[in-house]
Structures are given as structure tokens and as C-alpha cells.
Amino acid sequence: MPAPAHSRLITVAARTHLRPLGCVQKGRSRVWLDDQGRWVGMVEFQPSSGSKGSYLNVGACFLWNEMDFLSFDAGHRVEGFHEFISDAQFAVAATFLAERAGQEVLALRERFASPSHVEAWMAANAGLSLWGHYHAAVAAGVSGAVDQSRQLFEKIIADPHDVPWAINLKHRCEALLCSVQNGAEFEAEIASMITRTRRQLGLAEHAQAMPAWLRQRDS
């Protein structure tokens, strides 16, 4: 069955504006990925359950959390709903959304250019989120801010949340806390975690050398 007109117009616009940036479509979905090796930028032309058209969500998924799915760890909705009324009208809307998505992709690349960039942004925006603290802790450890990383891991471990996902996260943090004082050991564990996550997500081997990126401090 052919895709609806509005979905086809989104795909055409995304191919025009996202593919030249190196983004690739996830299967035949309305999700496009910007693979940066240690994190993946995600562009989602999110449909509505009741109307034809699209929202626009853009964010980053950090791959040092071993998992088999993609998540919006930083960022989310950047454009409200654009409704499909006609082919001509929505072609303009789809182009606008794809152009906006491209701008957001470039902004993410700059925002998370190195682990120290990630740590600074997550520390400022994590709020009370355990996952936000986790990403900030890992990034701090990789960028050499060992004391900051240790304090964040300890904060997560001491948190009273006792639901299964929080308990699993605390166990992971306990193991990472033991290795963060040894930079090489910590980097090796994070690199291994990223590699396993990439395999579970079906992502190709990345051209950028893992150790070089992990040792990068303040590019």
C-alpha cells in the first residue's frame, strides 16, 4: 500500500534537507538518524492520532546507556502540529519542518561536540532526573572531571527511588563509580558499553575512532 500523501511529502523534504547532512531514514519510518558515534541525533516527524500532518521532535540519544531502543535523552518537540490540508500547502509545511530539523541537527552537533560539552549541558538541564544525572556523570568521567563524576554517581546511588529501572541504574553506577578513578579503565568500560548498544540497535561500525573521541576534552 502506498504511503499517504503527507508522509510522502515529508520523506521528499527530509531527503532534500537531511540526507545532505548525513542523516539516514530509519527504515521507512518518519524517523531520521544522525549517527555521531557515541550518540545519535533523532529527528521524528511525529504523526497525530486524529489528523493528517506532523509534529517535529529533535533530540539526542546517548549510547553509553546499554539498551536496544532509542530514546530522547536531550531535546524533544521543537515544532507544534502542522496539519495536512492539500498537497501544495503541505509541501511547503514539510519543507519548513525539514529545514528546521536540519538546523536542529547542526545545533545538536555543536552542543554535544565533546564529552565536556555533554557534561556541561546535562548538568545545567538535568534537573532532578536520575537519567540526566547519569549522562552528566558519564560525560564528566570521560572528560576527566573525576570528582564531578563521582559526586553524580553517588547522588544517583543514594536516591530513594526503588523501582526496578532505578535499582538497575544504581547497580550500574556502583560499578562505574569503582572504575572512574582509573581513567583508562573507565573509558574502556564506556567504550564497550557504547559498542554493545550500537550492536543491539543495528548501527553500523562508526568511522570515528572510539578512543580518540572518548579522550577528547574540550574541542
Whether residue 96 sits in one domain with residue 26: yes
Q: Are 105 and 126 part of one and the same domain? A: no
Are 59 and 130 in the same domain?
no
What range defines the domain where residue 125 resides?
A: 115-215
Q: What is the pLDDT at residue 90?
A: 97
Grid coordinates standing for 165? 529501572
β partners of residue 40: 35, 61
DSSP 17: H
| pLDDT tens digit at each of 219 positions of the chain | 678 899 999 999 999 999 999 999 999 999 999 999 999 999 999 999 889 999 999 999 999 999 999 999 998 999 999 999 999 999 999 999 999 999 999 999 999 999 999 999 988 886 768 999 999 999 999 999 999 999 999 999 999 999 999 999 999 999 999 999 998 999 999 999 999 999 999 998 764 535 455 545 444
How many domains are contained in the chain?
A: 2
Verify that 59 and 77 share a domain, yes or no: yes
The last residue of one of the domains, among 111, 139, 170, is: 111
- Looking at the structure, tell me whether residues 35 and 21 fall in a common domain: yes
Q: How many CB atoms lie within 10 A of CB 127?
A: 7
Query: Is this structure's pTM higher than 0.85?
Result: yes
User: How far apart are the two ends of the chain, measured CA to CA in Å?
Assistant: 48
Name the burial class of residue 188, with classes exposed (0-12), middle (13-18) and buried (19+) by CB atoms within 10 angstroms of its CB.
middle
User: Could you tell me if 51 and 103 lie in one domain?
Assistant: yes
Whether residues 85 and 97 fall in one domain: yes
Residue 154's nearest CA partner among 174, 138, 169, 168 is 174
User: In the listed set 70, 89, 111, which residue is the last one of a domain according to the structure?
Assistant: 111
Where among 111, 128, 151 does a domain terminate?
Answer: 111
Q: Is the dihedral of CA 95, 98, 100, 103 positive or negative?
A: negative
Q: What is the pLDDT of residue 50?
A: 87
Judgement on whether residues 172 and 201 belong to the same structural domain of the protein:
yes
